[in-house]
Amino acid sequence: MGGEIEAKLQGDYSVSKFINAAGSVLRDNVYYKMVRGKMCKFGNDYAIGLRWLRHLGFVQVSTNPVLAARAYDDDPGLLAKFLEESKERLTVWMEDPDAFGDEIAMQATMVALWPNLAVFEPIADLTDGMVSYQLNPNVASSAGGSMADAIRIYSAAQEFLRRYDEYLLWGYSSVKERGRPNIVFKIAGGYPAAIEITSSLNSLGIGTNNTVTYTVAQEVTLIMAAMEGMAEAVKKGIIPTQVYETNMGGRLESHIREVEAEKIVLDALEKAGGRKEELLLRLAKGLGATKEVETSKDLREKVRGICSFKYLKSLENEALIDFLAGAKGTSREEVLATLSKMEGDIGMAGTLVAQRTYEIFFSPENRPKWVSYLRKRCGLRADEAELVIDRIDVLPASKRKPNDTFLTLARKNMTNTEFPDHQQRVLEASRKEGFDLASFENSIARKHDPEVVRRLLLIGDFKRAYELTPEKLRGVGVLGDYGSGGLDVSEWPKFGSVVKTMAEFTNAYEAFKAKCVEAVKAASR
Is the Cβ–Cβ distance between 439 and 65 less than 8 Å?
no
CB atoms within 10 A of CB 16: 8
For residue 445, the 8-state DSSP code is G
Backbone angles phi, psi at 392, to 5 degrees: -115, 125
Contact (Cβ atoms closer than 8 angstroms) between residue 417 and residue 60: yes
Which H or E run contains 183? strand 183-188
Rounded CA-CA distance 81/259 in Å is: 44
Q: What percentage of residues in the chain have a pLDDT greater than 70?
A: 97
pLDDT recorded at residue 11: 86
Q: Please state the φ and ψ torsions of residue 416, each to the nearest 5 degrees.
A: -90, 125
- Residue 192 has a pLDDT of 97
Task: Grade residue 27 by pLDDT with cuts at 50, 70 and 90.
Answer: very high
HSE-CB for 236 with a 13 A CA cutoff: 13
Is it the case that residue 245 has pLDDT exceeding 60?
A: yes
Taking the C-alpha atoms of residue 120 and residue 117, their distance in angstroms, rounded to an integer, is: 5
Q: How far apart are CA 120 and CA 182, in angstroms?
A: 8
pLDDT class for 178, splitting at 50, 70, 90?
Answer: low
Q: Please name the amino acid found at residue 102.
A: D
3-state secondary structure 462-518: HHHHHCCCHHHHCCCCCCCCCCCCCCCHHHHHHCHHHHHHHHHHHHHHHHHHHHHHH
Higher model confidence: residue 163 or residue 322? 322
CB-based contact 367:361 (threshold 8 Å) = yes
Three-state secondary structure string covering 26-73: HHCCHHHHHHHCCCCEEEECCCCCHHHHHHHCCCEEECCHHHHHHHHH
Q: If one looks up domain 41-168+180-247+365-445 in CATH, what number appears?
A: 3.20.20.70
Other CB atoms within a 10 A radius of the CB of residue 96 amount to 9
Predicted confidence band at 176 (pLDDT cuts at 50, 70, 90)? low
Predicted confidence at residue 52, as pLDDT, reads: 76
Mean pLDDT for all residues in the chain? 92
Provide mean pLDDT across the span 163-173: 75
How far is residue 493's CA from residue 501's CA, in Å, rounded to a whole number?
Answer: 11
Say if residue 98's pLDDT is above 70: yes
Is the pLDDT at 155 greater than 80? The verdict is: yes
pLDDT for residue 3: 83
What's the pLDDT band for 175 if we cut at 50, 70, 90?
low
The pLDDT score that the predictor gives to residue 65 is 66
**104 contacts 97 by C-beta, under 8 angstroms:** yes
Phi, psi torsion values for 206, nearest 5 degrees: -100, 120
For the cut 90, the answer to whether the pLDDT of residue 12 exceeds it is no
Residue scoring higher pLDDT (383 or 525): 383
* In the predicted structure, residue 166 carries a pLDDT above the cut 90: no
pLDDT of residue 242: 95
Say what the pTM is. 0.94
pLDDT at residue 74 in the model: 82
pLDDT tens, residue by residue, 425-481: 999 999 999 999 999 999 999 999 999 999 999 999 999 999 998 788 988 999 889
> pLDDT tens for residues 48-83?
667 778 888 888 888 766 777 778 888 888 889 999
> pLDDT band at 173, cuts 50/70/90?
low
Res. 289: pLDDT tops 90? yes
Give the span between the Cα atoms of 414 and 9, in whole angstroms: 36
> In this model, does residue 208 exceed pLDDT 90?
yes
Domain spans in the chain, listed from the N-terminal domain onward: 41-168+180-247+365-445, 252-346
Assess whether pLDDT exceeds 60 at residue 177: no
Give the pLDDT confidence of 298-330 residue by residue, as tens digits: 999 999 999 999 999 999 999 999 999 999 889
293 pLDDT above the threshold of 60: yes
384 pLDDT band, cuts 50/70/90, is very high
pLDDT of residue 296: 86
Q: Tell me what pLDDT residue 361 has.
A: 98
Give pLDDT tens digits for 110-133. 888 888 888 888 887 777 788 999
> DSSP letters of 234-259?
HHTTPPPPPEEEEE-HHHHHHHHHHH
Rg (CA), the chain: 25
pLDDT at 174: 58
Would you state the pLDDT for residue 21? 87
Of 415, 63, 447, 410, nearest to 245 (Cα)?
415
